[in-house]
Structure 1
Amino acid sequence: MFARGAGPGAVRRDAAVLFVDLVDSTALAHRLELGDYAELMSEMLQILYLGLEAHGGTVLQHQGDALVAQYDIARLEACLRSAQDCHRRIASLSAAERLGERLTLRVGVACGQILSLTLGGQPTGYGRPFNLSRRLCTIAAPGETLVCADTYQLSPDLPATARPRSRRSRDFPLPVRPTRI
């Protein structure tokens, strides 16, 4: 099914979108020698790409130290496992250990309808889950994964200790109710 106004190949579908970002990467870039920083970022991105894709995600893009991946909504549980896996994997990077650095991530996950298409030969997507996952990532504490209310409702296997909390986000008219997992 083509999405109206989006051109051939554009498809509307329900998906989970994961946004992952390295905490304090700017300070890290200033602290490390350029070659060391590039080695660290290369290893980190490679590990994250492989981990996200191993759980069935499609990495759409990376910018600097951030990655965006999408998962078919039927793979929501795998998306949430990959979010937790990102935190675990980042803690054991050999380049970080060699440089005496401890890396920490923030992760946001949001579900909803997206528009998937290919631009310039690269897969991309549009829709509220992309914006919301980024906002959730931004307000997450270091080492934390936040999920939106829809994700929480669609995930019966989330820990019983997860509790929704209300937060305002400048880009969303209603309070965002993220849940920490």
Structure 2
Amino acid sequence: MTSSLHPHWAFEREVRAILLRFVAFAILLANLILGSREGAETTQRVVVIGYFIISVASVATARLLPGRSWLKTLFVVLDALLVTLILYAHILAGPVTENHNLTTTSLVVAFILLTHVGLKLDRRLVLVFSGIVLTAWVTMLAITAARHHTASVSSLLASFFNEDLGLTVSFGFTAFAIYLLARDHDRTRKEALKADQRRHNLSRFFSPLVVSELQERGQALGLQRRNAAIMFVDLRDFTSFAETATARELAFVLAEFRQLVSQTIFDHGGTVDKFIGDGVMAVFGQPRPTEDDADRALACALDLVDALNDWRNHGVRNGYPALDAAIGLHYGIVVGGVLDSGCHSEFTVIGDAVNVAQRLETLAKSLDAPVVISSELVARLRSPAPAAAWISLKAAHLPGRRLPIDVCYLLRENASGGVEHAPAYETGVSQTALQRSVFQSSPPAPDVGTV
């Protein structure tokens, strides 16, 4: 798994690895120049030349072919084989009668290269390197013991369990410690990547403040009953457009629509609960309700009316069909939080208030209105509703709901910028002229209708 977190760290580790290779090469070269073990000069030269070639190739491939895991494994295996050659030169290459005491500085290279592998912070590479070296080391010590003591089993064991084996055990413990460090780093990195990915996913749906709270509280956000404003935004005639549009056109229009709606929702402190085809469900008051949820939701809806109207006109000028949007807005009690369904956890809201908001959006389509709001939301406004051509509709029947509900809606602007007449079958009272401006700076207006 490649981390995108602090990419300069990988470069710093590579620089340290190059420095360690230089130290190891300097030690090998010093041993060769100052005098190596008799009979091992040829092996030492092969090790020095081979290590130099491997080091140059390793640095070059790290620069020219980054991210090739098989190349990293290959160089680790080659390093381990060079250490095996060094062990051979000091354990098996000498005469049988000679005392094999592994105190030469050449063996320091084994520990340096082990540290070099550990800097890669890949436990798999640590296992490969230490596995090859330890296997070769123990095998050579066993062969040496067999060559020197063949009289009895006890003599053989006594010869095998000596200070040379102690150095091997020290190398093994060092390798194990480095493996544990690499494993812990791997776990930490994976957790960091998961957290980074989770934050990225959350940022697609929630405002930055909500993302921070979700990151801090995590699964503590269980299902709770709370008040919230629910908004549904949906495109009209999008299905007809999808039947004839190309896949590229469809993706372009839908992406623009979602980006515009979600950004406007975020700007007003709302949460995008989910995308449903060409629709968007938003919540104001999740995961933490505030006193001005209804005000921010209405401000967001009115800003969306303007923004989506401009977006539609821009699309028409560029050859796209006129796609109007309908918005339904309601306030009520919801059950919200993290809904765990086994293989997938979702942060969402459910309840009758959600169903009402969705049906208000459907009603907005039948009324050819850009936005329909419920009387419950109006009752929760802390400030008077902004000046607009609101029409009050008493006892509106919503599909699938037994009790009617009082609503208010806006008239849609026609192509020339005027306001279309209300449908003949509706009754209501128009409050004021359509004068949209920034919600917070709108002059106080009378309460919407008699709701």
Per the shorter chain, which TM-score range? 0.7 to 0.9
Instruction: State the shift of 1:122 in Å.
Output: 2.8
Structure 1 unaligned residues grouped into runs of 5+: 1-6
1:32 — aligned with what?
245
Aligned with 2:318: secondary structure?
helix
Q: TM-score, normalised by structure 1?
A: 0.87
Residues 109-164 of structure 1 deviation map (CA, whole Å, 9 limit, x = unaligned):
11111111123343101112100000000011334211112112222422485343
- Comparing 166-175 and 77-86, the one that deviates more: 166-175
- 1:162 maps onto 2:403 in alignment: no
- 1:151 maps onto 2:377 in alignment: yes
Aligned with 1:112: secondary structure?
strand
Contact 2:268 2:300 in 1 (8 A): yes
1:70 to 280, 283, 291: 283
1:131-150 matches, cutoff 5 A? 131-140=355-364, 141-150=367-376
Q: How many residues align?
A: 175
2:268 — aligned with what?
55
> Structure 1 counterpart of 2:275, which letter?
H
- Comparing 129-138 and 116-125, the one that deviates more: 116-125
- Comparing 16-25 and 70-79, the one that deviates more: 70-79
Structure 2 unaligned residues grouped into runs of 5+: 1-219, 411-451
1:99 — aligned with what?
319
2:338 to 118, 133, 144: 118
Name the one with the larger helix percent: 2
Instruction: State the shift of 1:100 in Å.
Output: 3.3
Alpha-carbon separation, structure 1, partners of 2:258 and 2:265: 10
Alpha-carbon separation, structure 1, partners of 2:328 and 2:256: 21
Alpha-carbon separation, structure 2, partners of 1:160 and 1:63: 29
- Comparing 103-112 and 92-101, the one that deviates more: 92-101
Alpha-carbon separation, structure 2, partners of 1:40 and 1:96: 12
> Structure 2 counterpart of 1:179, which letter?
C
RCO comparison, higher one (Cα < 8 Å, 6+): 1
Alpha-carbon separation, structure 2, partners of 1:97 and 1:31: 19
- Comparing 49-58 and 85-94, the one that deviates more: 85-94
Aligned with 2:222: secondary structure?
coil
Instruction: State the shift of 1:95 in Å.
Output: 5.5
Instruction: State the shift of 1:91 in Å.
Output: 2.8
- 1:43 maps onto 2:271 in alignment: no
Higher-Rg structure is: 2
Aligned with 1:13: secondary structure?
strand
Contact 2:221 2:338 in 1 (8 A): no
1:21 — aligned with what?
234
The change in CA–CA distance for 1:37 and 1:161 in structure 2 (over 3 A counts) is closer
Alpha-carbon separation, structure 1, partners of 2:258 and 2:304: 10
- Comparing 43-52 and 165-174, the one that deviates more: 165-174
Instruction: State the shift of 1:101 in Å.
Output: 2.7
Instruction: State the shift of 1:108 in Å.
Output: 0.6
Alpha-carbon separation, structure 2, partners of 1:31 and 1:66: 19
Q: TM-score, normalised by structure 2?
A: 0.37
- 1:88 maps onto 2:301 in alignment: no
Name the one with the larger strand percent: 1
Contact 1:15 1:111 in 2 (8 A): yes
Q: How high is the sequence identity, in percent, across the aligned residues? A: 23
> Structure 2 counterpart of 1:89, which letter?
A
Alpha-carbon separation, structure 2, partners of 1:125 and 1:137: 17
Alpha-carbon separation, structure 2, partners of 1:101 and 1:11: 42
The change in CA–CA distance for 1:161 and 1:85 in structure 2 (over 3 A counts) is closer
Contact 1:135 1:169 in 2 (8 A): yes
